[in-house]
Amino acid sequence: MKHARKDDERPATEPAAKAADRVRALERELAEQAEAARQTGETWREAVHDMRGLLGVVKNSITVLNQERVSETMRAEFVTMVREGVASMNALLNELASLASLQAGQEHRKVESFDVAAVVEQLCEELQPVAGARGVFLSARGPAALGVEGDGGRVRHIAHYLARIALQSIKRGGVTVIYGTCGPGGTGPWKLGVTCSGVDVEAGRPSAQTEPIPMRAPPSGFQPAPPLISETIALSIVQRLCELLGARMEWAGDAENGKSYSVTFPGGAGAARAQDSRV
């Protein structure tokens, strides 16, 4: 009878263990959903705070401009503040629209062949005004060409947001955008990274460890630097884009040395084809 009871107990023990595993899995899923909801709430709370601040700047500037006894010099300064405030609000609204579209699942990836090196070089040239306004350098490091299969437009968006965040996080030195394949053979997954260097701008060159490729100087009469972006909103957009593209993002850094980010993109047979390095 004792052996019979042990045999009878086994079927009851195994379902109980499976049920416990399912409960733990559900608990983890609920915790992840709660954390995602918390992060979403924090993102939108910061967006409202930023928008309120920008509106306050524009409103106060307009109030001053409506006064009669305002010097032309001061009037010009407040006109600039209004222009920059409106530009910042427009940028913030565009970022929120992008985030809302990603959160609603309305975005779909488009797979095509593109050259990561060309995308990064063009991006760095376009962001030279941002680097110049911060008094830091912006450069790139990687192969002369890196052909991959993926969504080139959204990869560019990821690089754009990460580079902007890194540029805003430092007061000296510079930012280097690094790209290349992950493993030997030049095929498979590939990486896109943004790193900060703590070298004093007055030294005239970055550290020997980075060896970046200087971008061409911006042409005369280039447009002023775009407004600052919200780091919380930008990172939320990047995380959503990584989910869409099946990529994985990692980051590190602090207030003294700035932020560094690395994104690993999936690859398949012939997904990444690197040519001779440019450094």
The CATH number of the domain where 236 resides is what? 3.30.565.10
| Statement to judge: residues 144 and 198 lie in one domain | yes
Residue 210 pLDDT level (bands cut at 50, 70, 90): very low
The answer for residues whose C-beta is within 8 angstroms of residue 124's C-beta and 6 or more apart is 138, 139, 140, 163, 177, 215
Residue 69 pLDDT level (bands cut at 50, 70, 90): confident
Q: Whole-structure pTM over 0.75, yes or no?
A: no
Mean pLDDT of 139-160: 92
Cα–Cα distance for residue pair 58/89, rounded to 1 Å: 10
Q: Between these two residues, 106 and 273, which has the higher pLDDT value?
A: 106
Cα–Cα distance for residue pair 199/128, rounded to 1 Å: 18
Q: Say if residues 148 and 179 touch (Cβ distance below 8 Å).
A: no
- State residue 273's pLDDT score: 53
Over residues 158-199, the pLDDT tens digits come to 999 999 888 888 888 899 999 998 766 556 789 999 998 764
Looking at beta carbons, which pairs linking 43-48 to residues 24 or more positions away fall under 8 Å?
43/99, 43/232, 43/233, 43/236, 46/230, 46/232, 46/233, 47/92, 47/96, 47/230, 47/233
Range in 1-5, 155-159, 169-173, 222-226 with the lowest mean pLDDT: 222-226
In a domain, 137, yes or no: yes
Which of 81, 103, 125 corresponds to the end of one domain? 103
Q: Say if residues 132 and 199 touch (Cβ distance below 8 Å).
A: no
Backbone angles phi, psi at 128, to 5 degrees: -60, -40
| Statement to judge: residues 98 and 117 lie in one domain | no
The CATH number of the domain where 96 resides is what? 1.10.287
| Statement to judge: residues 260 and 127 lie in one domain | yes
Residue 151 pLDDT level (bands cut at 50, 70, 90): very high
In a domain, 279, yes or no: no
| Statement to judge: residues 265 and 185 lie in one domain | yes
| Statement to judge: residues 63 and 134 lie in one domain | no
| Statement to judge: residues 131 and 68 lie in one domain | no
In a domain, 179, yes or no: yes
In a domain, 223, yes or no: yes
Q: State the total domains in the chain.
A: 2
Please give the angle made by the CA atoms of 164, 166 and 171, to the nearest 5 degrees: 110
Backbone angles phi, psi at 151, to 5 degrees: -95, 95
Which of 103, 121, 144 corresponds to the end of one domain? 103
In a domain, 136, yes or no: yes
Please give the angle made by the CA atoms of 256, 260 and 264, to the nearest 5 degrees: 170
Cα–Cα distance for residue pair 131/137, rounded to 1 Å: 6
- State residue 168's pLDDT score: 85
Mean pLDDT of 252-272: 69
| Statement to judge: residues 135 and 14 lie in one domain | no
Share of the chain above pLDDT 70, in %: 73
| 96 has pLDDT over 50 | yes
Q: What is the mean pLDDT of the chain?
A: 76
| 107 has pLDDT over 70 | yes
Which of 103, 133, 161 corresponds to the end of one domain? 103
- State residue 218's pLDDT score: 37
| Statement to judge: residues 15 and 47 lie in one domain | yes
**Which residue range forms the structural domain that includes residue 58?**
2-103
| Statement to judge: residues 245 and 144 lie in one domain | yes
Token pair belonging to 156: 């560019």
Mean pLDDT of 71-95: 84
| Statement to judge: residues 143 and 42 lie in one domain | no
- State residue 162's pLDDT score: 93
| Statement to judge: residues 47 and 132 lie in one domain | no
In a domain, 33, yes or no: yes
In a domain, 117, yes or no: yes
- State residue 124's pLDDT score: 93
| Statement to judge: residues 139 and 92 lie in one domain | no
